[in-house]
Amino acid sequence: MSGARPPLVMPPTPSETSFSRRRFIRLVGGGIIVLFNADLSDLMGQETRTRGYPTDFNAYLRIAADGRVTVYSGKIEMGQGIVTSLAQMAADELGVALASIDMVMGDTSLCPFDNGTYGSMSTRFFGPALRAAAAEAKAVLVMLASEKLKVPKEALRVEDGAVFAAADPKARVTFGQLANGQKIVRTLDGKAVPKSVAEFRLMGKPTKRLDARAKVTGKAQFAGDVRLPGMLYARVLRPPAHGATLKSVDTGGAARIPGAVVVNDGGLVAVLAPDPETAEKALAAVKSDWDVPKPEFDDRTVFDHLLKSGGAGQESERKGDLAEGEKSAVSLFEGKYLNGYGAHAAMETHTALANLENGTMTVWNSTQTPFPNQAAIAQAIGFAKENVRVITPFVGGGFGGKSGGGQQAIEAAKLAKVTGKPVQVCWTRAEEFFFDAFRPAAVVKIRSGLDAQGRICLWDYGVWAAGSRGAEQFYDVPNNLMRTYGRWGGDNPKMHLFATGPWRAPGANLNVFARESHLDVMAAKAKADPLEFRLRNTSDKRMRSVLEAAAARFGWKKAAGPSGRGVGIACGIDAGTYVALVAEVKVDAASGRIRVVRIACAQDMGIVINPDGATMQMEGCIMMGLGYALTEEVRFSGGRIHTRNFDTYEIPKFSMMPALDTVLVKNDELSPQGGGEPALVPVGAAIANAVFDATGARLTEMPMTPERVKTALAAVRRPGTPP
Amino acid sequence: MKDSVSFRLNGKPVRLDVDPERSLLWVLRTDLGLTGTKYGCGESLCGACTVVIGKEAVRSCLLPVKAVRGKDVTTIEGLEKGGKLHPLQEAFADTGGLQCGFCTPGMIMNAYALLLKNPKPSRPQIALGMEDNLCRCAAHHRIVQAIEKAAAGGAS
pLDDT value of residue A53: 40
Test B45 with A646 for CB contact under 8 angstroms. yes
Angle, in degrees to the nearest 10, between helices A127-149 and A82-94: 30
- Cα→Cα distances A193→A35, A135, A441, A495, Å: 16, 6, 46, 49
B31: nearest CA partner in chain A: A275
Give tens-digit pLDDT for A120-152: 777 777 888 889 889 989 999 999 999 999 999
Give the residue from A221, A280, A347 with the most B CB atoms within 10 Å of its CB, the best one to mutate. Answer: A347
Q: Cβ of A619 and B142 within 8 Å? A: yes
**Residue of chain A nearest B109, judged by CA positions:** A216
- Look at residues B60, B59, B146 and name the one whose alpha carbon lies nearest to residue B99: B146
Closest CA relative to residue A407, chosen from A477, A452, A351: A351
C-alpha distances in Å from residue A722, one per residue of A125, A199, A695, A717: 55, 62, 11, 7
- State the smallest CA–CA distance between residue B92 and chain A in angstroms: 7
- What is the arithmetic mean of pLDDT over A145-170? 95
Contact: B138, A620; criterion CB under 8 Å? yes
pLDDT at A51: 37
- pLDDT score of A207 more than 90: no
Among A204-208, A539-543, A591-595, which stretch is predicted with the lowest mean pLDDT?
Answer: A204-208
User: Per DSSP, which regions of A438-566 are E strands?
Assistant: 442-450, 456-464, 480-485
A205 vs A173: which has the higher pLDDT: A173
A228 has a chain B CB within 8 A of its CB? no
| A229/A418 Cα distance (integer angstroms) | 17
pLDDT band, very low/low/confident/very high, at B46 (cuts 50, 70, 90): very high
Q: Is A258 on the interface with B (CB under 8 A)?
A: no
Render pLDDT for A21-44 as a digit per residue (tens, 0 to 9).
Answer: 666 666 667 788 887 776 544 433
Question: pLDDT tens digit string along A389-428?
Answer: 999 999 999 999 999 899 999 999 999 999 999 999 999 9
The A residues from 402 to 431 touching B (CB cutoff 8 Å) are: 426, 428-429
CA distance B12 to chain A (A): 18
Tell me if the bond preceding A393 is cis, omega within 30° of 0.
Answer: no
- Residue B98 and residue A216: Cβ atoms within 8 Å? yes
ipTM: 0.98
Preceding omega of A703 cis (within 30 degrees of 0): yes
Please determine, for residue A50, whether its predicted confidence score (pLDDT) is greater than 70. no
The alpha carbon dihedral of A428, A433, A434, A438 has a sign of positive
Cβ contacts of A627 on chain B, cutoff 8 Å: 138
Please judge whether B141 and A657 are an interchain contact, meaning their C-beta atoms are less than 8 angstroms apart.
yes
CA A428 to centroid of chain Cα atoms: 22
- Shortest Cα distance, chain B CAs vs residue A79, angstroms: 3
Q: Is a pLDDT exceeding 70 seen at residue A469?
A: yes
Q: Is the pLDDT of residue A334 over 90?
A: yes
Distance (Å, rounded) from C-alpha A554 to C-alpha A62?
47
pLDDT (0 to 100) of residue A28: 67
- Residue A84, chain B, CB below 8 Å: the answer is no
Q: Is A284 on the interface with B (CB under 8 A)?
A: no
Backbone angles phi, psi at B116, to 5 degrees: -60, -40
Give the pLDDT score at B148.
Answer: 98
Q: What is the pLDDT of residues B100-129, one digit of tens each?
A: 999 999 999 999 999 999 999 999 999 999
B54: region left, alpha or beta (phi > 0 left; psi from -120 to 50 alpha): left
Would you list the DSSP string of A278-315? HHHHHHHT-EEEEE-PPP--BTTTHHHHHHHHSTT-EE
CA distance linking residue A3 with residue A327, whole number of Å: 46
pLDDT for position A25: 65
The nearest alpha carbon in chain B to A621 belongs to B138
Residues B70-88: pLDDT tens digits?
A: 999 999 999 999 999 999 9
Please report the residues numbered 47 through 106 in chain B whose beta carbons come closer than 8 angstroms to any beta carbon of chain A.
48, 75-77, 79-80, 85, 88-90, 92-94, 96, 98-105
| Spatial contact of A702 and A594, defined as CB atoms under 8 Å apart | no
Is residue B141 less than 8 Å (CB to CB) from chain A?
A: yes
B148 touches chain A (CB under 8 A): no
Percent of chain A scoring above 90 in pLDDT: 79
Lowest-pLDDT choice from A44-58, A102-116, B28-42, B108-122: A44-58
Residue closest to A423 by CA, chosen among A226, A285, A687:
A226
* Interchain CB distance below 8 Å, A645 and B45: yes
- CB–CB of A397 and B137 under 8 A? yes
A178-199 per-position pLDDT tens digit: 999 888 887 777 677 889 999 9
DSSP label of A562: P
Query: Would you tell me which residues 619-678 of chain A have a C-beta closer than 8 angstroms to some C-beta of chain B?
Result: 619-624, 627, 645-647, 651-655, 657, 660
Beta strands in B36-111 (DSSP E): 50-53, 56-59, 72-74
Residue A90: φ, ψ to 5°:
-65, -45
Judge whether A582 is closer than 8 Å to chain B, CB to CB. no
Is A74's pLDDT higher than 60? yes
CB contact under 8 A, B76 and A218: yes
* Closest CA of chain A from B156, distance in Å: 17
Q: What is the pLDDT of residues A610-643, one digit of tens each?
A: 898 899 999 999 999 999 999 999 999 999 999 9
Residue A245 pLDDT exceeds 90: yes
Beta strand segments in A520-576, E:
567-574
How many Å apart are CA A336 and CA A349, to the nearest integer?
34
Mean pLDDT for chain B?
96
Lowest mean pLDDT among A102-116, A215-229, A547-561, B18-32: A102-116
